[in-house]
Amino acid sequence: MTKFVIINGWAAPDRIWTEFIEDIEKDSEVLLVDWAPKEDLASVIQSFVMADSFVLCGWSLGAMEALRLIADIRDKVSHLILFSPTSRFVIDPDLQLKIGWPVSIIKQMQYWIHKNPDSVLKKFYSQLLKPNSHSVDLKIPTHYEVPYLIEGLQALIDYNLHELVPKLSHKTLIFHGEEDVICPLEAGRKLHVRIKNSHFVPLSNSGHMPFYTHTNVCLKAVRSFIGERDD
């Protein structure tokens, strides 16, 4: 049975993965973990996969963490699946990257998280769901602590995977919403170009959460990618 590890994105409720995971679990063992630095995730994932190879999947900040993690466990990962990924979340003049968020915006979010975390998360969630905001509703998780939220935002500022990406040789599947306002489509496309053995799936009328808003399309592509029959 295939083992499947999913690293969730920043401050996102687990239930957004329910439909996706229920289908994958028909013939795979699935571990869903909240985002954390790779140093904290490694032992948890190791306990789950043991000596087996596994499919590593990440979304948004979780996709960045998957890219960081794979450098340490490359021999165990059979397939890499990335939803809404980027190698650098913020605008970086040193790399001449003009796509991404200004660092100042994330710093403002860190400041306001201290003052009113619910307000920051509600605004963030509204951006996550575009252009599908009318059809879905997210409730703010109650288990996230402010220091954890701030740590995740700092990771978005600090992580720079630009040099790591060309070294990847794993079979990689990249999904990206064409109307993603959190991480622009061009970020995923650039990642695809720089990962040698990758396949890119742009999704129309999709924002930052294609596995949630376009579940069946994503599942069909995932099953084809990992060599499983799509019933």
H/E run at residue 171 = strand 171-177
**What confidence tens digit (pLDDT) does each residue in 17-26 have?**
999 999 999 9
Closest CA to 137 of 13, 220, 22, 5: 13
Q: What is the pLDDT of residue 137?
A: 62
Separation between Cα atoms, residue 150 and residue 123, nearest integer Å: 16
> What is the pLDDT, as a whole number, of residue 99?
86
Residues whose CB falls within 8 Å of the CB of residue 74, separated by 6 or more in sequence, listed in order: 170
Q: What is the pLDDT of residue 135?
A: 55
Determine the Cα–Cα distance for residues 112 and 53; give it in Å rounded to an integer: 41
Q: In Å, how far from its chain's centre is CA 23?
A: 19
Which whole number is the average pLDDT over 178-200? 95
CA 7 to chain centre: 7
Residue 52 has pLDDT above 90, yes or no: no
131-176 residue pLDDT tens: 766 555 667 677 789 999 999 999 999 999 999 999 998 999 999 9
Q: Two tokens at 151?
A: 């740590």
The whole-number pLDDT of residue 87 equals 95
Whole-Å CA distances, 167 to 84, 161, 224: 20, 10, 25
How sure is the predictor about 229, in pLDDT bands with cuts at 50, 70 and 90?
Answer: very low
Averaged pLDDT for residues 103-126: 93
Q: What is the pLDDT of residues 81-113, one digit of tens each?
A: 999 999 999 998 887 767 899 999 999 999 999
Give the residue with greater pLDDT, 13 vs 57.
Answer: 57
Q: Which residues pair with 171 in a beta bridge?
A: 79
Instruction: Give residue 134's pLDDT.
Output: 53
List, for residues 186-196, the tens digit of each pLDDT value: 999 999 999 99
Quote the CA–CA distance of 223 and 57 in Å, as a whole number: 13
Length of the chain: 231
Top pLDDT among 48 and 71 is at: 48
Q: Tell me the domains of the chain and their CATH numbers.
A: 2-225 (3.40.50.1820)
Consecutive H or E run containing 132: none
**Average predicted confidence (pLDDT) for the chain:** 91
| pLDDT confidence of residue 230 | 42
DSSP string computed for 22-65: HHHTTTEEEEEE----HHHHHHHHHHHHTTS-EEEEEETHHHHH
Tokens of 43: 């032992």
Cβ-proximal residues to 80 (8 Å cutoff; 6+ apart), any chain:
55, 56, 57, 66, 70, 168, 170, 171, 172, 173
44-59 mean pLDDT: 92
